[in-house]
Structure 1
Amino acid sequence: MSNPSAPPPYDDRNPLYPGSPPQGGYGQPGGYPPYPAYPQPGYGHPAGYPQPMPPIHPMPMNYGPGYDGERAVSDSFGPGEWDDRKVRHAFIRKVYTIISIQLLITVAIIAVFTFVTPVGEFVRKNVAVYYVSYVVFIVTYMTLICCQGPRRRFPWNIILLTLFTLAMGFMTGTISSMYSTKAVIIAMIITAVVSISVTVFCFQTKVDFTSCTGLFCVLGIVMMVTGIVTAIVLSFKYMYWLHMVYAALGAICFTLFLAYDTQLVLGNRKHTISPEDYITGALQIYTDIIYIFTFVLQLLGDRN
């Protein structure tokens, strides 16, 4: 049998790609080169396609502590520190605003009892009015100190504090009416100087009075027992020197209490008062100032 002289037909060409080589091989002009053929991908390296790189898992980038998706905030200088400082400053302003109002009311009552003679004579003759104000003082004081609900709930805290201030002012005015006008004025000046000096000292000093809470508790107990004993002794026989010693001890003790309560309000020591208890802070400092005034007034001893 003779070999055909003509090439085979192009029926075996791929119909989708005209001009491509027949499925059986290469050999037609215009098609792919006959040899060597392109190697199949993945069948060797370096003759075939290079192996793909292993997938790289994306690692989360660390933007530092405090990152909130927009900016990085350092732990040592965050907005919380400034917020706390603002809250404490607002608390201090609120406490001393309340104390200023309380002292103005008290000074006004003392002025009426001291300079208006009929009022002074009336309270001196009617001792029962003094004891009624004393009961109001004790009830409102214990309620504000021991009961957190009325102390933090507006307007009950303001109402109770107003009643307490009026009762305390009435008691202080009654005591002041028993002394001369000169003694009352001098006692007010001394109390103002002591209170301002203690406050400035507490702002500047590094001494932490709040770390000695136990000592102040013992001091308060000693002061209370000494007062009870002194009252019992003086009720039987009046001794001038015992009265003066007790007055001096009371003035010193409540000056220390004022320093302790002032640092509790400032909040930069071991112990502090919560910013929600501004009534407590004002109540304690106001009471300390009034007791300093009454003890200094007794030390002057210039009765009517």
Structure 2
Amino acid sequence: MAKGKVNASSKTDSECPPSYQEATAGYEEMQAQFYWDDKAVRQIFIRKVYAILMTQLFVTVGIVALFTFCAPVRFFIQTHPGLYMLSYMTFFATYIALSCCGDLRRQFPWNLILLVLFTLSMACMMGFVSSFYNTKSVLLCLGITALVCLSVTIFSFQTKIDFTSCQGVLFVLCVVMLLCAITLSIVVPFGYVPWLHAIYAVMGAILFTLFLAFDTQLLIGNKRYTMSPEEYIFATLNIYLDIVYLFSFLLQIMGGGRE
């Protein structure tokens, strides 16, 4: 009888449901492993984006320097405006392809080929524009752009402010910029208005500084909205455009015409 009671008691103990700690031990371990795996993937994604971005910026600065400092190249570019239109058409076509065709920008090697064409066309456009400004203005704007980009990047990595949740503010600023551009296009044929153009350039510089913070935090992935690690081409494209447009608006604000 005692033996039967012992067996019954051990059977009852073995059929007891597990505790909460026992039931969730495997889940917590799996969740921690997933967190570290995701963090490692995100770090690889960030390194890949900035490696491509630095290559783009070096190419762009090299072309801008060539068009600005080399007198024969500058003269050739300024006397052949059709090359600017060709660069603009290439830029527009590659931008549409990379922005709208998700499968294409994730398909190797076509995504890199389009990105190279996009970078070269944008760099040539910036070089053409910079050739009409004096050398000191171009160097000053390059330095300010580099300083602003470095400061905004460090701030975006460290701050608790979530720029990814500010799409409404960015949309309103984009609408204001569009209205200013339309106003300028109407006013300019009747006469150049320096203060109106200055306001437009200042607003553009502020807007693309905010866009740089927005796109950087999308890249980091620790805020409300994030970007998929598969979209490294699209992430690079956005940050590169923010930097280039910031440079162009600073050039309009502080640039002096070449004599």
Is 1:160 aligned to 2:111, yes or no?
Answer: no
Partner SS state of residue 274, structure 1? coil
Which residue in the other structure is 1:59 paired with? 15
Counterpart of 1:293, as a letter, is: F
Of 178, 183, 187, 1:224 maps to 178
**Structure 2: unaligned runs, 5 residues or longer:** none
Which residue in the other structure is 1:297 paired with? 251
Partner SS state of residue 23, structure 2? coil
For the 8 Å contact 1:64–1:74, the answer to whether it is kept is no
Counterpart of 1:59, as a letter, is: E
Is 1:282 aligned to 2:236, yes or no?
Answer: yes
Whole-Å separation in 1 of the counterparts to 2:2 and 2:220? 73
Which residue in the other structure is 1:186 paired with? 140
- Deviation of 1:218 (Å): 2.3
Is 1:213 aligned to 2:167, yes or no?
Answer: yes
Give the 5 Å matches for 1:1-304.
52-53=4-5, 55=8, 56=11, 58-59=14-15, 62=18, 63-67=22-26, 74=28, 78-304=32-258
Partner SS state of residue 117, structure 2? helix
Partner SS state of residue 211, structure 2? helix
Whole-Å separation in 2 of the counterparts to 1:231 and 1:288? 23
Provide Cα deviations, 1:76-119, integer angstroms capped at 9, x if missing partner: 96211100111111111111111100000000100110111111
Which residue in the other structure is 1:46 paired with? none
Whole-Å separation in 2 of the counterparts to 1:273 and 1:90? 13
Q: Which runs of 4+ in 1 moved over 6 A?
A: none
For the 8 Å contact 1:199–1:259, the answer to whether it is kept is yes
Whole-Å separation in 2 of the counterparts to 1:164 and 1:224? 24
Whole-Å separation in 2 of the counterparts to 1:109 and 1:120? 11
Counterpart of 1:65, as a letter, is: T
- Deviation of 1:126 (Å): 1.5
Partner SS state of residue 177, structure 2? helix
Counterpart of 2:15, as a letter, is: M
Whole-Å separation in 2 of the counterparts to 1:277 and 1:222? 29
Partner SS state of residue 78, structure 1? helix
For the 8 Å contact 2:59–2:123, the answer to whether it is kept is yes
Higher Cα Rg, which structure? 1
Provide Cα deviations, 1:159-205, integer angstroms capped at 9, x if missing partner: 11111100100000000000001110000000001100101111111
Structure 1 length normalisation: TM-score? 0.77
CA RMSD of aligned residues (A): 2.0
Counterpart of 1:280, as a letter, is: F
Change (3 A) 1:50 1:77: closer
Change (3 A) 1:74 1:246: same
Provide Cα deviations, 1:259-302, integer angstroms capped at 9, x if missing partner: 11111111111111111101111111110100111111111131
Partner SS state of residue 169, structure 2? helix
For the 8 Å contact 2:138–2:255, the answer to whether it is kept is no
Structure 2 length normalisation: TM-score? 0.90
Change (3 A) 1:60 1:194: same
- Deviation of 1:50 (Å): 7.3
Whole-Å separation in 2 of the counterparts to 1:284 and 1:218? 19
Counterpart of 2:102, as a letter, is: Q
Counterpart of 1:191, as a letter, is: T
